[in-house]
Amino acid sequence: MRSCRLLLASGCVVLAIGCATLQVDYDYDPAVDFSTLRTFDWLPNPDSTVQALTVKRIQNAVTAQLQPKGLRLTSDHPDFLIGITVSERTSNAGAVGVGASIGVPFSRGLFSLGTGHSTPTRKREGTLVLDFVSRDSSPLWHSSATETVDNGAPPEEQEKRINRAVAKMLAQFPPHPKK
């Protein structure tokens, strides 16, 4: 029973660490009355390098988050437009090193010989940016999410990660007016 609890607790820690890599930020124009916004549409995607399936997953996730908040997708005179930007970068995340050495007594001293090898660890980070703009292109809301990515993940895992990121990105949308 104790080992079962320990296994469950360690699984929760691994899950929490896995979720901790998502970094979300947002900003908005406080002069905007977000309560007047009811409809939205998508800006054309200028980045043709982003896979159409990825864009579709992002759009579905955003729509799923906005609909319960009373917003609906329409191409007929939307109140605001949403732009999607996706970028990726590779950075060094440290290095893993292995070394070995041997010492041999020699006359009045010690002769030693050693070697080591270090392998850099690379980390691929993806950033998703959502920009909400008015029809005249005035910025309303901006949110970004950055996380370590795995492009080899199956489609279900990609969708789950996108849904989680978008949910966190839009958790504070629309902003509540200060009273």
Whether residue 157 is contained in a domain is answered as yes
Whether residue 107 is contained in a domain is answered as no
Give the CATH number of the domain where residue 30 resides: 3.30.160.670
Whether residue 110 is contained in a domain is answered as no
Whether residue 150 is contained in a domain is answered as yes
Nearest to 162 by CA among 62, 46, 82: 62
Q: How much is the pLDDT for 148?
A: 87
Q: How much is the pLDDT for 101?
A: 66
Q: How much is the pLDDT for 141?
A: 97
Whether residue 53 is contained in a domain is answered as yes
Whether residue 128 is contained in a domain is answered as yes
pLDDT in tens, the chain (179 residues): 443 333 333 333 333 334 448 999 999 999 999 999 999 999 987 666 678 888 999 999 999 999 999 999 999 999 999 999 998 888 766 666 666 666 667 667 666 666 766 767 677 888 999 999 999 999 999 999 999 887 788 999 999 999 999 999 999 999 986 65
Whether residue 68 is contained in a domain is answered as yes
The model carries a pTM of 0.71
Q: Rounded to the nearest 5°, which phi and psi values hold at 30? A: -70, -15
Give how many domains the chain has, as a whole number: 1
Whether residue 71 is contained in a domain is answered as yes
Count the residues in the chain: 179
Q: How much is the pLDDT for 149?
A: 81
Q: How much is the pLDDT for 33?
A: 95
Residue-number span of the structural domain to which 44 is assigned: 22-93+123-169
